[in-house]
Amino acid sequence: MKIENQTVVGLTYELKVSKVEDEIESVPFSVEVRDEEDPFYFIFRQSGLPEKFEEYLTGKQEGDSFEFVLKVEEAYGEADDELLINLPKSQFTKERGFEDSMLQEGEFLPLMDENGYPMQAKVLKDFGDTLLLDFNHPLVGFDLHFEGKVLEVREATPEEMDHGHVHGEHGEDH
């Protein structure tokens, strides 16, 4: 079966990132590896991943290898200064599940948006009573280098399509 709309896709890959500054591109460095012990599964065209990522996988089938680069503009774009937000530190209490160690500069806070979906923010600066948080995607400003293999392609079940995520061994059980 080929990767197309309404299929569940299982991948292994290594993701490397690079950045261009002053017209000089950094050497790509590894930031994530999804191997056969921990493959990545998603519903094609419902993944929330960059459109170009899925475009490069279209038509591939189980056993196919892939290698491609998403340029910044095809991936998560450039950082948006409007997503840098100062919030009162009092919102991040132990009663709400936050430990002091989580509030350190450079840490990522696990949060929920107004609809209950998980999101994260990076702590940029601790100003004492407030924290400067960055709600940009962690991969903004980077070119993304993917190299991997298609492990599985199957038809998504009607229930998976309704829920918008993979069920079973490599997805959610509920």
Tens of each residue's pLDDT in the chain, 174 residues:
999 999 999 999 999 999 988 888 888 999 999 999 999 999 999 888 999 999 999 999 999 999 999 999 999 999 999 999 999 999 999 999 999 999 999 999 999 888 888 889 999 999 999 999 999 999 999 999 999 999 999 999 999 998 888 987 777 665
Among 129, 107, 47, 88, which Cα is nearest to 11's?
47
Candidates 3.90.550.10, 3.20.20.80, 2.60.120.620, 2.40.10.330; correct CATH number of 81-134?
2.40.10.330
Q: What does the alpha-carbon distance between residue 45 and residue 154 come to, in Å, rounded to a whole number?
A: 14
For the domain covering 7-72+142-163, report its CATH number: 3.10.50.40
Domain locations along the chain: 7-72+142-163, 81-134
Q: Is 44 helix (H, G, I), strand (E, B) or coil?
A: coil
Which pair of tokens denotes residue 84?
A: 């840098």
CA-to-CA distance for 16 and 146, rounded, in angstroms? 7
Domains 7-72+142-163 and 81-134 belong to one CATH topology:
no
Residue 57: closest CA among 15, 10, 20: 10
Alpha helical stretches, state H, the chain:
51-57, 158-163
> Helix, strand or coil for residue 39?
coil
Which pTM was predicted? Answer: 0.83
119: left (phi > 0), else alpha (psi -120 to 50), else beta? beta
Strand-pair category, 118-126 with 108-112? antiparallel
pLDDT tens, position by position, 131-149: 999 999 999 999 999 999 9
